[in-house]
A and B are shown apart, each in its own frame.
Chain A
Amino acid sequence: MNRHRLIIPACALVALALGNSGCGRSLPPRAVEEPTHQRPAHHPGSLVDALPAIRVRAARLTAAPADAATATAELRDILRWIPQLAADTTLGRSAWDDVAALAARGSAHLAAPGDPAALAADLAATADSLAAIVATLPPGTPTEEP
């Protein structure tokens, strides 16, 4: 008897919340349209591929404002992904720490207001520093998604 009296309010609570959020009937459009864990189009896929991705977008920072804004947003993502991309290589801890520090420095520069041309040059230099580390990787390191 007691159990039944308890179950009713619990059911009501669950039903209320599910009703409010629409759970079980219609999922948010994103969840229906996008497969889970789908990577954005500008995800480089590997550390090696991240270098040209940075250079291309750094060059676009001095372009038209709309294009520069897109490039900035994508650069922010790419720099954030770099430590994880570097983890998917044979880089030792010391080299990985250097990569992570370069990415963090690039992100900080990107976040600070400044001259777009100087920022572009700074990010190109970051890409060069990363390239020097990537050059130490053995041949056969994956460069792109199959």
Chain B
Amino acid sequence: MALLWGIVLRVVQALLQGAPFILTGLCIAAVLDKLLGRVHTRRLFGSNSLSSLVQSWLIGMVLPGCSLGVIPICRQLRASGIAVGTIFAFALSSPLFDPLSILYGLTLSKPLSIMAFAACSLVVVMLSGGLFDKLFPGTELAVVEPPAAPPGAKRMLAIAVAMAREAVSGTAVLVGIGLLGVGLLAALLPPGTLQNVLGHDNRAAPLLMTAVALPAYATPMTVMGQLGSMFQHGNSIGAAFALLSFGAGMNLGLVAWMWLTYGWRKLAVWLVLMVAVVLAISYGIERPLYPADAEDAGHTHAFDRFCGPYGAGTVPAGGFAADILHRIRMETLPHEWIGAGLLGVLMLAGATLRRCDPARRVDAWLLRVPEKDRGVGRYDIVLPAPVLALACLGGIVAASVVGCYAYYPPPEVALEELSTANVEAVTSAISGDAKRAADWIPVCEGWNRRLVVGAYLRSGRVSDYHRAKSRLYQDRLEELEHALEDGDPAKELSRHALDASRAFRYLSAAFRSEPLD
């Protein structure tokens, strides 16, 4: 039972985390389909050339996405006749970074490593994509541009209908397969399996990470947090790069799409190329990028999410269902709830359309130009659909940048939230409520990071002094977490809790009274 419930928890967690990105992916795919059109899509991304690989990588870097969210976009790129290598280049690069995760990465102790990882991802895309297109030339398709909806409300409605239909099409199945990969890992890897095997001194760490990260699914933000933890704990840098490439860049759903669309042979060649290039880079950067001042903690909790949450034979207090609900409530962020809600609405609309309108009469009506053209007003301008498409894509990028300001609030707001979470964690630990303390410590850790990133976002710099205070608080939280896990005596728990509380006071004083730059 523990295994089954563990799978349920991990799949639900992944679905909720991925929901905003899947929604964005559906929106981008519909904009490409209904506004930009296939010819212009092909022009935007390029096809079957080295420059198209760079173009796709750049577009992927700018647009927010995750490896589940790129599935509908890849399907649309394929419908636009774009060559396989170019599509794969986009599919790999888009999930790696987004504005939220880049900001997070820039405030890590080693931002240079993140920049180097981004450059390495371009090398992966260029090498594997270029070689693939060389091996399989002529994978472009001749496409016919389907009729476009007339300007006005119908054009906008056509996008919504396309999103709804796509949400319950093959994309949904592929996303489901991607999520199954998360469940598969939870079933195969007992809790804590990956805590001690990704050290800098383990030569097999990049290889192991490749094997684990391929079926895993992680959002760019999750991966960036994991990278930060790996740098801090002196884990393998090569494994960190493999994690970024495969954990963020791939999932089983994407692999399934490649197989169904291009067949086993092309999929196998692509995977072999990818794995070879990523592993070569991973082992190549292990020494040069390993931080000289890294403290090898000999373990990491960064990958606990890839493993099963419940040990065999264990039953959480209150039962599995209650524990899962509790964890989901504690961990899920507001934008994830909103994304999941909107995705649900979209799927409901798509299912209704599919059932009530199998002949696609609605789609035909949307394409029909009104017989009586009312004409346009003197100041009305009919914008060409591709212009609107580019404006939409620009709007998505702009919205993701604006979203950064909401996700990373000003330091005073973050400190207020952190203060509440810290009180909960510390008082729970002191009063012996280990479960409640363990629930609140990750919340404290999250707000601690958001505090630093929010300050960086607004002032452009965070001093070493402030970083040291943040790091101290993080260390104290981790020590408290370990004391709770080890079942330390009450006196020890109180000491760790008071240490964490003191570190929070120093952190708060630093951000409230000392200049950031």
Give chain A's interface residues, CB within 8 Å of chain B. Answer: 2-3, 6-7, 10-11, 13-18, 20-24, 27-28, 30-31, 34-37, 80, 83-84, 86-90, 92-93, 96-97, 100, 146
Q: Is the CB of B208 within 8 A of A20?
A: yes
SS of A interface (majority):
helix
Q: Is the CB of B293 within 8 A of A80?
A: yes
Q: Is the CB of A3 within 8 A of B177?
A: yes
Contacts of A30 in B (CB 8 A): 298
Contacts of B260 in A (CB 8 A): 2
Closest 7 CB pairs of A and B: A17-B211, A31-B196, A87-B468, A21-B204, A93-B514, A87-B472, A93-B465
CB 8 Å contact bits of B443-475 with A (1 = contact, 0 = none) = 000000000000000000001110011011001
Q: Is the CB of A17 within 8 A of B297?
A: no
Is B193's beta carbon under 8 Å from chain A? yes
Asked if A10 meets B482 with Cβ closer than 8 Å, knowing A2-B256, A30-B298, the reply is no
Q: Is the CB of B207 within 8 A of A92?
A: no
Which chain B residue lies CB-closest to A77? B295
Q: Is the CB of A28 within 8 A of B202?
A: yes
Q: Is the CB of A31 within 8 A of B298?
A: yes
Most buried by A among B208, B210, B478: B208
CB distance from B214 to the nearest CB of A (A): 6
- Other than the known A21-B202, A23-B193, what 6 A-B pairs have Cβ atoms closer than 8 Å? A3-B256, A10-B181, A13-B211, A21-B197, A93-B465, A93-B514
A30 to B296, CA, bound (A): 11
Q: Is the CB of A18 within 8 A of B252?
A: no
Give B492-517 interface residues, CB cut-off 8 Å to A.
495, 502-503, 506, 509-510, 514-515
Is B321's beta carbon under 8 Å from chain A? no
CB distance from A55 to the nearest CB of B (A): 23
Contacts of B256 in A (CB 8 A): 2-3, 6
Which chain A residue lies CB-closest to B498? A146
Most buried by A among B196, B208, B211, B509: B211
Q: Is the CB of B472 within 8 A of A23?
A: no
14 contacts between A and B (CB under 8 A): A10-B184, A17-B211, A18-B211, A21-B204, A21-B208, A23-B208, A27-B196, A35-B486, A37-B478, A87-B472, A88-B503, A89-B506, A90-B509, A93-B465
Asked if A87 meets B469 with Cβ closer than 8 Å, knowing A92-B514, A93-B514, the reply is yes
Is B25's beta carbon under 8 Å from chain A? no
Contacts of B193 in A (CB 8 A): 23-24
Q: Is the CB of A3 within 8 A of B208?
A: no
Q: Which of A6, A35, A96 contacts B259 (CB 8 A)?
A: A6
Q: Which of B185, B207, B495, B514 contacts A146 (CB 8 A)?
A: B495
Which chain B residue lies CB-closest to A10? B215
Contacts of A7 in B (CB 8 A): 180, 184, 252
A69 to B208, CA, bound (A): 36
Which chain B residue lies CB-closest to A83? B468
Contacts of B432 in A (CB 8 A): none
A104 to B398, CA, bound (A): 41
Is B188's beta carbon under 8 Å from chain A? yes
Give B251-269 interface residues, CB cut-off 8 Å to A.
252, 255-256, 259-260
Asked if A23 meets B259 with Cβ closer than 8 Å, knowing A17-B211, A88-B503, the reply is no
Q: Which of B184, B255, B464, B482 contacts A11 (CB 8 A)?
A: B184
A27 to B252, CA, bound (A): 28
Is B304's beta carbon under 8 Å from chain A? no
